[in-house]
Amino acid sequence: MDKTRPLGLFGGTFDPIHLGHIIPISAAADICDIDHVALIPNFLPSHKQAANSSPEHRLAMLERVCADYPLFHTETWELKQQALSYSFYTLEMLRKRHPQRSLCFFIGSDSLHTLPSWHRWQELLGLCHFVVCQREPTKPDKQSEQQKQHVTALLAQHQITEPQALHKKLAGCIYLANTVPFNVSSTWIRAELAQGRVPDNMLPKAVSAYILEHKLYQSNAII
Ligand code: ATP
């Protein structure tokens, strides 16, 4: 890995990881000329209910994805903290580890809308860039009027239109990547699996095989 090139970061619950994660982020990484993206599974999400599958299963599925998609590797720091996961602390740790490297945090556009609810959100752009992939809303938009105003102000100050800027600065830019929306969520996949249907067209092959082998998501119980 060339440590002078930008490092992509992609955090989530990944319960399970699906093609809506992999395809838009791969496309955005390509547009931005980023060749390494760390998948960062959270231990306990700070903004939603606990995961349905154990950290071990969620990580095992990510490792299968990394074996098939060389763009990705796993970063298990949040799992090792065994506490609520806040991106701020993960980014602070990664900034210390990579003081001279551009850090590009990939998120879906739904996450950009709620960014002003993240812990210490005003400090995040001091630590990383954000690369935003298009995502059509899967749930009612939870963005408040105040959050809308904050996001508009963030974009006015930080949005860039040329992705090369992500290589020139270490942090501080927001790039809205023109990726094709891939409409799926882990919630929908879990609901399909709980009904006995395997949505193969929305999951990497190795992940559906893992889910079937370990009988994951067959009910709402935490496994
Ligand atoms: P859940 O349905 O359990 O809430 P999810 O499918 O939204 O899960 P997460 O693991 O919570 O997935 O998402 C992590 C990140 O992936 C977030 O930045 C989210 O915006 C992004 N993301 C998830 N699904 C998509 C998608 N289909 N297209 C683009 N971005 C996505």
Checking if the pLDDT of 1 tops 90, the result is: no
Q: How far apart are CA 103 and CA 154, in angstroms?
A: 18
Give tens-digit pLDDT for 122-179: 999 999 999 999 998 766 666 788 999 999 999 999 999 999 999 999 999 999 999 9
Segments making up each domain of the chain, as ranges = 7-214
Contacts of 190 (CB under 8 A, 6+ apart): 15, 16, 52, 217, 220
DSSP three-state, residue 190: helix
Task: Indicate the top mutation candidate among 9, 10, 13 to test ligand 1's pocket, ranked by most ligand atoms within 8 A of CB.
Answer: 13
Q: Is the CB of 112 under 6 A from ligand 1?
A: no
Q: What is the CA radius of gyration of the chain?
A: 17
In CATH terms, 7-214 corresponds, of 3.40.50.300, 3.40.50.1370, 3.40.50.620, 3.40.50.2020, to: 3.40.50.620
Q: How far apart are CA 37 and CA 74, in angstroms?
A: 8
Nearest CA to 124 out of 88, 99, 97 is that of 88
Give tens-digit pLDDT for 38-93: 999 999 877 767 778 999 999 999 999 999 999 999 999 999 999 899 999 999 99
The model's pTM is 0.95
Separation of 217 CA from ligand 1 center, angstroms?
17
Q: Is the CB of 24 under 6 A from ligand 1?
A: yes
Task: Indicate the top mutation candidate among 124, 185, 216 to test ligand 1's pocket, ranked by most ligand atoms within 8 A of CB.
Answer: 185
Q: At what angle do helices 205-213 and 55-68 cross, to 10 degrees?
A: 150
